[in-house]
Structure 1
């Protein structure tokens, strides 16, 4: 038991992603649509209701600007989105 009174569950998943996370591919040559993590499996994740699979190192969390745009933004668009 820990301070929050919850038991610690061991996990074999070493991914930074959780079910429900919105992600995009890091490679600009890949599709630019948003995807939702369905389940984490080892070094990969099942996406969009178990219809797609991607290795965890090929995706990243979508930014707020990308979620609003409903697609992955280019590096230039990301830079503009960060300007106050």
Structure 2
């Protein structure tokens, strides 16, 4: 989310891990990415792939809400942003 994707990112965006395993149950989302590899027109057409356009939906996948990073990441010394 809100990442810079360079030209080396394949237009499909994602690859299967093990044939069609989990393609009907996964959730891959993209939100406000930018750069030469950020176009979503050529992305995979899996049921679980989503172009997120609603900020409130994207917020559900942030470090703060999705993995409650504010509770434990500070102690690791890893740089992070809890929101968008």
TM-score (norm 1): 0.24
More strand by percentage: 1
Instruction: Choose between structure 1 and 2 for higher RCO, CA contacts under 8 A separated by at least 6 residues.
Output: 2
